[in-house]
Amino acid sequence: MWPKDWTGRELKRVAIVGLAKNAGKTTVLNALSKLSSSRSLPAGLVSIGVDGEERDAWSGRPKPPVLVSAGTLVATAGPCLDADPGTWEVLEEIPVRSLLGPVFLARAVRPGSVKLAGVTSAKGIDRVLEGFQRHGARLALMDGAYDRKAAAHPLRADGVVLVAGASAGRTLEAVVRRTEEWVRIFNLPPCEDPLLKKAGERALLEGRPVGIVGEGIEPFPLPSLLVDRGRLTAAVESRPWSALAIPGALTDRTLSRLTECGWTRPLLLSSPTHAFFSLRTLRAFLRAGGEIGYLERARLIGVAVNPVSPEGGCLDPREMKRRIADVCRPVPVIDVIRDGIG
């Protein structure tokens, strides 16, 4: 059963993120949109980026259209609305471009379907979300293209649904491992230390790493951590740092280098959208005594499993759900095809 708070009032912006290409995000989007509509909470649908998926990962048939009920809001390009003129009340043209042209906000006047032209810029998404709010959407659903974590940014989404599809690996084992990695990294704890949080905010403001020495906050000697090991070691040893706040991405290589340089103190990232390291590297860092936290983090509100791969493979749905639930606990896991939603 889908947890009741998944689309409860506190969730206004939900991002749907795929673990891999053809994970089946559209199906989850449709299910959430339908749920929202059945509860008389008008949803606003927007797609982030374009990933070129053509086939439906669930059925192998052509990719499912995005379904809308009367009252659903969409953000898409003019030609996508023109294809079915009787379905839409066009509300507004917003200063945002998609690959198919300028983006309009429209409300469905009767049930139908639509192609969502992907909005490619973060600023554009913010404008769409503001527009949804202006026109009364109670829940914004963001269909994030494969590997675009931007949709899951905490300033944009207050809830994230991960879609773990069979397309993410050749075996159930591989899919489970990738899902676990994604969830573990996404769910690293938010920062509780007020001084470190302050350092994180300053790092974001100044656009460079900022460290803590004693009770004070000081700029880290390097404007970026993407340097050779010698310079990184020198910077690490330059002061008695007790923690470091990083404003940008933390890559696998940088985290490995920090571990090699003997950095075993807390690291703060601005959000999970900046975590680009593997679980293996993270484990090595944690084992050495390090800690990683986030300044802000959207809530992972669920993992949707899809046992069908568009390449033809199919995993045992029950086994997949059980195994994914084991590694994601306590995050709820749902199979929207078999279990339904809501």
Q: Tell me which of 318, 322, 326, 329 binds other proteins, using CB under 8 A.
A: 318
Cβ nearer to other proteins, comparing 172 with 325 = 172
**Near other proteins by CB under 8 A, which window of 179-187, 225-233, 276-284, 330-338?**
330-338
Question: Can residue 337 be called a binding residue for other proteins (CB under 8 A)?
Answer: yes
Q: Does 174 bind other proteins (CB under 8 A)?
A: no
Of 224-283, binders to other proteins (CB under 8 A) are none
Binding mask 110-129 for other proteins (x = CB under 8 A): xx------------------
C-beta of residue 155 within 8 angstroms of C-beta of residue 130? no
What whole-number distance in Å separates Cα of residue 323 and Cα of residue 200?
36
Please pick, from the candidates 85, 194, 230, 330, the single residue that binds other proteins as defined by CB under 8 A.
Answer: 85
Least distance in angstroms from the C-beta of 244 to other proteins: 33
Residue 317 interacting with other proteins (CB under 8 A): yes
What is the distance in angstroms between the CA of the first residue and the CA of the last residue of the chain?
A: 7
**17 near other proteins, rule: CB under 8 A:** no
Which of 2, 104, 182, 220 binds other proteins (CB under 8 A)? It is 104
Cα–Cα distance for residue pair 188/181, rounded to 1 Å: 11
How many CB atoms are closer than 10 A to CB 124? 20
Residue 64 CB, shortest distance to other proteins, in Å, is 8
**CA–CA dist 139, 295 (Å, integer):** 25
CA 64, CA 264: separation in Å to the nearest integer?
Answer: 48
Q: Which one of 39, 41, 55, 59 is in contact with other proteins (CB under 8 A)?
A: 59
In the structure encoding, which two tokens stand for residue 247, read together?
Answer: 């404003």
**Helices 172-186 and 279-287, axial angle in degrees (round to 10):** 50
Residue span binding other proteins (CB under 8 A) among the ranges 25-33, 181-189, 203-211, 238-246: 25-33
81 touching other proteins, by CB under 8 A: yes
Rounded Cα gap, residues 217 and 67, in angstroms: 51
DSSP per-residue codes, 67-120: EE-TT-EEEEEHHHHHTSGGGEEEEEEEEEEETTEEEEEEEESSSEEE--PPB-
Q: Which of 40, 54, 86, 192 binds other proteins (CB under 8 A)?
A: 86
How many CB atoms sit inside 10 A of residue 289's CB? 11
132 binds other proteins (CB under 8 A): no
Per CB under 8 A, does 19 bind other proteins?
A: no
Under rule CB under 8 A, residue 138 binds other proteins: no
Residues 74-111: b if buried by 16+ CB within 10 A, e if exposed: bbbbbebbeeeeebbeeeeebebebebeebbbbbbeee
Is residue 68 near other proteins by the rule CB under 8 A?
no
**Distance of alpha carbon 280 from alpha carbon 286, whole angstroms:** 10
Answer yes or no: are the C-beta atoms of 341 and 334 closer than 8 Å.
yes
Instruction: Please identify, among the stretches 108-116, 121-129, 149-157, 178-186, the one whose residues bind other proteins according to the rule CB under 8 A.
Output: 108-116
Report residue 285: phi and psi, to 5°: -65, -45
Q: Which is nearer to other proteins, 300 or 308 (CB)?
A: 308
Looking at the Cβ atoms of 212 and 334, the one nearer to other proteins is 334
Instruction: Report the interface residues with other proteins, using CB under 8 A.
Output: 27, 30-31, 34, 59, 78-79, 81-82, 85-86, 88-93, 104, 107, 109-111, 307-308, 314, 316-318, 336-338, 340
